[in-house]
Amino acid sequence: MTRPTQAFINWSHFRHNYQLAKQKAAGRVYAVIKANGYGHGIVACARALGDADGFAVACVDEALLLREAGIKRPVLVLQGAYDANEWQLASTHDLQLVVHHAQQLEQRAQALLENPVAIWLKVNSGMNRLGVRAEEAESLLAHIAADEQLQLQHVMTHFADADLAQPEALSAALETMQSCDWPVSLSVSNSAATLTQLAADIETSDSVSRPGIMLYGSSPLANQSAAELGLKTVMSLRSQVIHTHDVKAGEKVGYGGNWTAEKDSRIAVVAIGYGDGYPRQAPCGTPMMINGHRCSLVGRVSMDMITVDISEFDDIQMGDTVELWGEQIDVDEIAALCHTIAYELFCQLTPRVKRVAVEG
């Protein structure tokens, strides 16, 4: 029998979310499917969006997985090439590279390129992670223009505060991008900026948006839920009740005994734990849905199991399906309780959680 802990992936909802991004964007939309498609499966994501304008991944290794799977759409490598060999791989496999540091162009000089490589120059507009400062970009633009094997496609940036958490910093970032006379169109919008059309004044029909988390049905905005934004749930994480038993008032449950029954209670054991990627930091009271009942986690999350208080629901029994997040339990609610974000919950699901494709 197959272990009941599975992630059901609704690809029609994934496509719906991509189309919503298309409706909101000024120009083209590259779907961000890095980190194994945020845990949903990188190749499966690309195949589900077979007519996407393009895809964005973190590194050349991820891009090559797509090419090896027969994906021919444009692929952008967000961290660019790490060395001369990766420049050559990008040339061979028609990968688009981000340049965020002058040293990357020095590495390119050591590579023999059989085909031209499309370049996106990344500008630091306040994230202070990757990217050259706007005043330093001119020399890199000249370097790229002088190289016949490099083709500048876009100038890009990544907002640190696109969810409007710090509007002053965001305004400064927008002004940075708007104040320069860039020779090509801009790519600035992530999920939050795409949904709010934050950069509408500086984006054109030639711009490229790069939505990520919204495609997977999670809200990138602190003050609006996924449903309010018109997003549809893509992943439903489910398992099964594998045991039920009674505990007496005063008895403890789980490692460390951090939950004590205040009254005689009934406990369900569910086949999921941090070995599957369910967050170990999930506190007592974290909700899940069983037979239409909203039940609460009690005790610590173990490697392979969790325990749930089902005292109020007589109809719950062994074999019943449990939804940890999905259509009935908002993943963003679980993330908030665990003091993290949906990105991490999706990405940390381990390989032993089978991904099951669902349509409609």
Catalytic residues: 34, 255
Residue 299 sits at φ, ψ, to 5 deg, of 80, 170
User: Helices (DSSP H) in the chain: which residue ranges?
Assistant: 11-24, 34-38, 42-48, 60-68, 84-93, 102-108, 137-146, 167-179, 191-196, 331-337, 342-347
Which H helix or E strand runs over 152?
A: strand 150-156
Q: Is 323 helix (H, G, I), strand (E, B) or coil?
A: strand
Q: How far is the C-alpha of 8 from the C-alpha of 127, rounded, in Å?
A: 34
How far is C-alpha 181 from the chain's CA centre? Answer: 32
- Number of residues assigned to the chain: 360
How far apart, in Å, are the Cα atoms of 48 and each of 22, 35, 92, 282, 345? 15, 16, 25, 32, 21
